[in-house]
Amino acid sequence: MKRGPIRDCPPAKPERDMKRQTAKSLSGIQNRFLRALVSPLTPQFRTPRSASVRPALRDLAPNSRLDARERFELYHRQYWFRVWDCFYEDFPGLRAMLGEKKFDALSNAYLLRHPSRSFTLRNLGDRLADFIRRHPRLTAPRTLLALGIVRVEWAQIEAFDRAEFPALDLSSLPPERLLRTKIFLQPHVQLLALDHPVDRMLLHFKRREEFRGAASNAVSDSRHRIRSRTFRILPARPTWLAVHRHDFQVYYKNLTPPAFRILQKFQKGSTLAAAISDPVLSKKFKVTPGQIQDWFADWSSLGWLTTHSQKQAH
Amino acid sequence: MGPGFFILCVSPTRTGTRFMNPHLPSGKIPRAGVGIGLRSVHYPHILSKKPRIDWFEIISENFILEGGRPLHILDRILEDYPVVQHGVSLYFGSPGPLDKSLLRGLKKLVRKTKTPWLSDHLCWGSVDGTSSHDLLPLPYTREAVRRTARKIRQTRDFLEVPVAVENVSSYAEFHDSEMTEWEFLSEVAEAADCGILLDVNNIYVSSFNHGFEPLDYLHNVPHGRVVQIHLAGHARYERFIIDTHNDFVIDPVWNLYAKAIGLCGPVPTLLEWDSEIPDFDTVHKEALKARRYLENQRAVA
């Protein structure tokens, strides 16, 4: 193999010193670059002339067509467009409810506080609900609704690709063994207690967007502007919801409070006997054995129950 | 450039004599095979029409999941086609250790796909766990050679599968670089004893952005280590080129490709199309152009 000469070969130094210095230099360059990369763009989507990026720019060489700032800017803009796109895709309902300006302010605040810590962008929004709780002014005056929407939209992501174990086979278990078997909820089934009927609002929004998409052919671009009036806000009403996957599609299913309570027990792992012996079920909710039997049959037919724990998914 | 453009650098490469002969699998991926990057918009066509194609390349990270449709689709694809894993997140050049959760996910996926080799990029992209989700260029230093080579070896040892590194397209250079990009790629491949996934489009893009002669690059990489070639389209602006993977391969890149297979041999070749993706037949037709070059090269040989 033909090789060219090594350019700018540094003068010989004691091996240990050289190693320490070069290692420091390489990591230092990368630290400065990343710090600048995750710092905000200007409102015109440009790299600012601020102290946050200056150290990184000093490491970069210009060429005959672009200076160091312009070369860095190609990466800087790309970083922000990528994470914004991801947010637009993952939280379209929140964006529509809040409106463009508020959603952008929320996303920027969140992404500055929580840049991606995962090898996959799938997890980018995993702390958004918690962030909204800690910074309610960013979504005021509809913080509770914003929180509900984020929880449902995040649950959709979880329901889409979380594990599904072999479902509990009722026919293989005699009734007395069934009562003693520890049962778990499938990892893809997400249980949410909400203050608003967010599922109905999101379904309405989705239908409106699909209609708009069919009419304007604009829905394929996640950056297209959503008009907040397409999001119909319904009055607050306690809602118990399961977001789950069936035949590789994500669905919502409304639950009654006692059914929700039993499923919560299965989520942690419980025998059927322990789950239904909860005194609250009979005393507060007046649940009958027939109702429990119907729910159990329904959940089993949907494949929600399994004998595998969530830990096995990891 | 408007706020709407976007860069994409998602692709793998092939290897040299020492690496290639003992490690390149026989049979599964035809030596002169032509593949396509598997993208979700093409799933319905592929699953219903079962087009004749030598192999698919997947972006590993898209399938490191617990369950759901992507894994179901992958199982169906694996019934009919060989699959090669290509990644975008190992970041061999990043400071700190390799991401253990990613490695565990890759290992599980390697067992499923039985990929003959696994490729990722010669780049960095994270610091202390914060990820840029980009393929950032390294300063071409000896320390960077040592670091990346060490991590490539660690990856190969953990995954128990040959590893190939791909040259990225880049838009910036560092004052601290001590060698050219092709010298850096060669040094890393030798030190790690790994394969190279040579992205011919990336060579073209970087040659424009940095003002070097692409043939110098092609002539000076260890040809025997090249196990795979990537081809793609890009977006040309007045003062720079962005690696968008959103268009047909341009003629100068095809010419470089012809020279590359002349030097490296009829290496498995893959077309990437990641943005503004047309229908499957259009992408397939574009990929099959590579076959004509491979056949010509074989005839000459």
Give the pLDDT confidence of B250-283 residue by residue, as tens digits.
999 999 999 999 999 999 999 999 999 999 999 9
Which of A220-229, B132-141, B144-153 has the lowest average pLDDT? A220-229
Residue B234 is given by DSSP the state -
Give residue for tokens 């967007």.
Answer: A209
Q: Given an 8 Å threshold on Cβ–Cβ distance, is A60 in contact with B175?
A: yes
**Shortest CA distance from B102: residue in chain A:** A119
Whether the predicted pLDDT of B3 surpasses 50? no
Report d(CA A102, CA B177) in Å as an integer: 43
Whether the predicted pLDDT of B6 surpasses 60? no
Residue B199, token pair as written in the block: 């992205």
From the list A249, A250, A262, A248, the residue with the least C-alpha distance to A298 is: A262
Secondary-structure breakdown of chain A: helix, strand, coil percentages, each rounded to the nearest 5: 55, 10, 35
Q: Which among B66, B124, B171 has CB closest to A30? A: B124
Q: Does the complex come out with an ipTM higher than 0.85? A: yes
Torsion of CA B218, B223, B227, B232, to 10 degrees: 10
Average pLDDT, chain A: 88
Give helix B181-192 / helix B142-159 axis angle, nearest 10°.
40
**Shortest CA distance from A22: residue in chain B:** B143
Report d(CA B37, CA B44) in Å as an integer: 15
Give residue for tokens 């980009």.
Answer: B134
From the list A115, A188, A70, the residue with the least C-alpha distance to B128 is: A115
With contact defined as beta carbons under 8 Å apart, do A238 and A152 qualify? Answer: no
Chain A residues in contact with B16 by the CB 8 A cut-off are 1
Mutate to test the interface with B, among A119, A156, A186, A304 (most CBs of B within 10 A): A119
pLDDT at A226: 56
Q: How many CB atoms lie within 10 A of CB A39?
A: 18
pLDDT at B186: 98
Whether the predicted pLDDT of A6 surpasses 70? no
Predicted confidence band of residue A280 (pLDDT cuts 50, 70, 90): confident
Whether the predicted pLDDT of A132 surpasses 80? yes
Report d(CA B63, CA B46) in Å as an integer: 17
Report d(CA A255, CA A191) in Å as an integer: 9
Whether the predicted pLDDT of A12 surpasses 60? no
Residue B48, token pair as written in the block: 């219903």
Q: Which of residues 201-240 of B touch A (CB under 8 A)?
A: 209-211, 216, 219-223, 239-240
pLDDT at B252: 98
Name every residue whose Cβ is closer than 8 Å to that of residue A132 and which is 6 or more positions away in sequence. A106, A138, A139, A143, A146, A147, A150
Report d(CA B197, CA A129) in Å as an integer: 41
* Sheet containing A270-271, strands listed edge to edge, beginning at the edge strand earlier in sequence: A270-271, A182-185, A305-306
Question: What pLDDT, in 10s, does the model give residues B242-257?
Answer: 999 999 999 999 999 9
With contact defined as beta carbons under 8 Å apart, do B13 and B227 qualify? Answer: yes
pLDDT at A222: 47
Q: Given an 8 Å threshold on Cβ–Cβ distance, is A27 in contact with B95?
A: yes
pLDDT at A229: 60
Which of B121-135, B149-163, B284-298 has the lowest average pLDDT? B284-298
Helices and strands counted in chain B (H then E): 10, 13
Residue A197, token pair as written in the block: 């009927």
Torsion of CA A189, A195, A200, A201, to 10 degrees: -120
Chain A residues in contact with B101 by the CB 8 A cut-off are 119
Least Cα separation, residue A87 to chain B (angstroms): 14
With contact defined as beta carbons under 8 Å apart, do B153 and B188 qualify? Answer: no
With contact defined as beta carbons under 8 Å apart, do B160 and B206 qualify? Answer: no
Q: Please, is B2 exposed, middle or buried when counting C-beta atoms within 10 Å of its C-beta (0-12, 13-18, 19+)?
A: exposed
**C-alpha pair distances (Å), B136 with each of A29, B167, B170, B180, B234:** 12, 11, 7, 16, 18
Q: Which of residues 60-99 of B touch A (CB under 8 A)?
A: 61, 64-72, 89, 94-95, 99
Average pLDDT, chain B: 91
Q: Which of residues 236-275 of B touch A (CB under 8 A)?
A: 239-240, 242
Report d(CA A32, CA A27) in Å as an integer: 9
Give backbone dihedrals phi and psi of B87, rounded to 5 degrees, phi first: -120, 165
Name every residue whose Cβ is closer than 8 Å to that of residue B90 and which is 6 or more positions away in sequence. B98, B99, B102, B120, B121, B151, B155
**Shortest CA distance from A15: residue in chain B:** B143
Residue A294, token pair as written in the block: 């119907």
Question: What pLDDT, in 10s, does the model give residues A193-243?
Answer: 999 999 999 999 999 887 765 554 433 444 455 555 679 999 999 999 999
Predicted confidence band of residue B169 (pLDDT cuts 50, 70, 90): very high
Chain A residues in contact with B277 by the CB 8 A cut-off are none
Q: Which among B64, B127, B179 has CB closest to A7? A: B179
Residue B14, token pair as written in the block: 């092939």
**Shortest CA distance from A46: residue in chain B:** B3
Q: Please, is B22 exposed, middle or buried when counting C-beta atoms within 10 Å of its C-beta (0-12, 13-18, 19+)?
A: exposed
pLDDT at A314: 57
With contact defined as beta carbons under 8 Å apart, do B60 and B118 qualify? Answer: yes
Chain A residues in contact with B1 by the CB 8 A cut-off are 77
Q: Given an 8 Å threshold on Cβ–Cβ distance, is B172 in contact with A7?
A: no
Q: Which among A9, A81, A120 has CB closest to B6? A: A81
Structure pTM? 0.89
Report d(CA A85, CA A91) in Å as an integer: 10
- Mean pLDDT of the A176-203 span: 95
B295 alpha-carbon distance from chain centroid: 22
Give residue for tokens 């991606």.
Answer: A116
From the list B208, B297, B222, B206, the residue with the least C-alpha distance to B255 is: B297
Report d(CA B109, CA B210) in Å as an integer: 37
Predicted confidence band of residue A310 (pLDDT cuts 50, 70, 90): confident
